[in-house]
Homo-oligomer: A and B are copies of this chain.
Amino acid sequence: MSNKPNLYTSLSPALLHLYDINNSIVVVIDVLRATSTIVTALNNGARSVIPVDSISKCMEIGKQIMGVTAGERDGQIAEGLEYGNSPFEYPKEFIEGKTLVLTTTNGTRLLHMALDKGAKEIVVGSFPNLSAICDHLIEMKKDVMLACAAWKDRVNIEDTLFAGAVINRIKDHFTINCDSSHMAEKMYEKGKKDLFAFMKANDASHYHRLMGFGLEKDIRYCLTADGANVLPLYKEGKLVLK
């Protein structure tokens, strides 16, 4: 056996309980679009991003701290909030120095699950910060859990692709005894030439959903590596840059 740290992939929050993540770095993955948007806002100078799981909590905290409130339900900005889930809503001119209070369902719940299970560290992963994530994981030499947020616990293609992209880059540094990880990498290899085309060709449910809202630009950005190459870390209720 090697002394390399272990790497696992959980394809859905409903599978996370199968793994001991007590001593692990957990990468929360919600490619379309929560984690891509968080990474982008922080890269553009947001002071922090506070992930919350409900619209009411978003409004409450937003008021308390004079933050920017954001979140969508069914592709529309949720009633009572100011902004949506698109990374393009958070350019430097707007978000710099501000705190973003973002309500997401799948991603926030997963983050809290990882906290409850005693994760050593929680970071936020998306294609826009792929290299930052990979560099960090290699450097830390700790066990890793790539935790896909999925969609209402159903496995999705884009989060799995991102897990595969990470594995593809860092696998030599880890022991990977995990079929989900190998499956994710295999799929990424198959799709990496053109992830947008891969999503389309494979009838990804979120591809259809977001295209239906006219969000091709968002999908393309969220599938492109290193557009906002920073490392958001969860600290005392907030996501901040390392």
Chain B's nearest CB lies how many Å from the CB of A146?
13
How far is A186 from B205 in the complex, measured between Cα atoms in Å? Answer: 15
Taking a contact as CB atoms under 8 Å apart, the answer to whether A180 and B155 are in contact is yes
Task: Note all chain B residues with C-beta closer than 8 A to A14.
Answer: 14-15, 18
Number of copies: 2
How far is A186 from B156 in the complex, measured between Cα atoms in Å? Answer: 13
Tell me the chain A residues, 177-236 only, with Cβ under 8 Å from chain B.
Answer: 177-180, 182-183, 186-187, 190, 202-205
Choose from B151, B153, B155, B177 the contact partner of A183 (Cβ within 8 Å): B155
Choose from B18, B182, B187, B202 the contact partner of A203 (Cβ within 8 Å): B182
Count of interface residues, chain A, beta-carbon cutoff 8 Å = 27
Chain B's nearest CB lies how many Å from the CB of A118?
20
Task: Note all chain B residues with C-beta closer than 8 A to A160.
Answer: 179, 183
Taking a contact as CB atoms under 8 Å apart, the answer to whether B18 and A152 are in contact is yes
Taking a contact as CB atoms under 8 Å apart, the answer to whether B205 and A183 are in contact is no
Taking a contact as CB atoms under 8 Å apart, the answer to whether A203 and B176 are in contact is yes
Taking a contact as CB atoms under 8 Å apart, the answer to whether B204 and A182 are in contact is yes
With both beta carbons as reference points, the residue of chain B lying nearest to A157 in the complex is identified as B179
Cβ-based interface call for A169 (8 A): no
Cβ-based interface call for A166 (8 A): no
How far is A153 from B11 in the complex, measured between Cα atoms in Å? Answer: 12
Cβ-based interface call for A43 (8 A): no
Task: Note all chain B residues with C-beta closer than 8 A to A176.
Answer: 203
- Given the known A-B contacts A18-B153, A153-B18, are A202 and B182 also in contact in the complex, defined by CB atoms under 8 Å? yes
Cβ-based interface call for A103 (8 A): no
Binding site for B on A (CB under 8 A): 11-12, 14-15, 18, 151-157, 160, 176-180, 182-183, 186-187, 190, 202-205
